[in-house]
Structure 1
Amino acid sequence: MADNVQIVLSAFEALFNKRNYAVAERFWSPNYIQHSAHIAPGREGLFELVKTLPDTLRYDNHVAAASGDYVILHGRFSGHGLPAAWVVADILRLEDGVLAEHWDVIQDEATREQSRSGLPMFGDRFPG
């Protein structure tokens, strides 16, 4: 299961942070199933979306957990051109060592003033 976490983290690093589509293609199945309301179908839909985002896009991971063929990431997407970073739970299913299916839950990151709990949504600090 630790291997699956490393595969997914490496895939996210290649696609979102390095924009290395040739390397990313090795991590995503050509038959990739996309359940996100924000992303067009398949691997191509995901890659085309990333190509439209600013070069400042960055993915940072906070927590990763695995259960069988599933990996859940709790991370932050910043630099995407929107007013607030996104804190995201990504759920991925792997098949034969590649990302085969994806679901997500996305929320704008709250500032200190917006947080009713008084705690940050990501890590131990509020966004700067």
Structure 2
Amino acid sequence: MITSGEGGRVQIVLNAFDTLFNKRDYAAAERFWSPRYIQHSAHIPPGREGLFDLIKGLPATLRYENHVAAATGDFVILHGRFSGIGLPAAWVVADIVRMEDDVLAEHWDVIQDEATQAQSRSGLPMFGDKFPT
């Protein structure tokens, strides 16, 4: 695992998201999330256990894809898509994670249903370079 600098923090968070959301490897995911994890999302129960329990209750089709990742200091920001969540539209999400000792310590998010081409006033997709099918 890469553990130094802002690029290392980005890679840790991307690995954490892949481990939890795509692989559903909860034992391995515990290495990435602090036991004292602070959750600010209105959609997720508190703590690491609240997050893990939420994911356990979602369909097996859940998938996370990342489009943009950036870091500054102890903060990593991801722009990604959560699909297969059992809702009519995928979620396009900006996740903000504060790192502490190379683990995810705190989280905020901004979540929006992914717009179709017909719904997009800009005429551009919200995620990547293609509209959802």
- Give the TM-score taking structure 2 as reference length: 0.96
Alignment coverage as a number of residue pairs:
128
Gaps of 5+ in 1: none
Written as runs of structure 1 = structure 2, the 5 A alignment for 1:36-47 is 36-47=41-52
Counterpart secondary structure, 1:60 = strand
RMSD: 0.2
Alignment partner for residue 82 of structure 2, among 60, 77, 81? 77
Output one character per residue of 1:103-122: Cα deviation in whole Å (capped at 9) or x when no partner: 00000000000000000000
Written as runs of structure 1 = structure 2, the 5 A alignment for 1:15-30 is 15-30=20-35
2:57 paired residue number: 52
C-alpha distance in structure 1 between counterparts of 2:121 and 2:101, whole Å = 43
Output one character per residue of 1:10-60: Cα deviation in whole Å (capped at 9) or x when no partner: 000000000000110000000000000000000000000000000000000
Output one character per residue of 1:47-98: Cα deviation in whole Å (capped at 9) or x when no partner: 0000000000000000000001000000000000000000000000000000
Is the counterpart of residue 95 in structure 1 residue 100 in structure 2? yes
- Give the TM-score taking structure 1 as reference length: 1.00
1:2 paired residue number: 7
2:67 paired residue number: 62
Counterpart secondary structure, 1:84 = coil
Using the TM superposition, give the Cα deviation of residue 99 of structure 1 relative to its aligned residue in structure 2, in angstroms: 0.2
C-alpha distance in structure 2 between counterparts of 1:121 and 1:38, whole Å = 21
Give the letter for the 1:28 counterpart: W
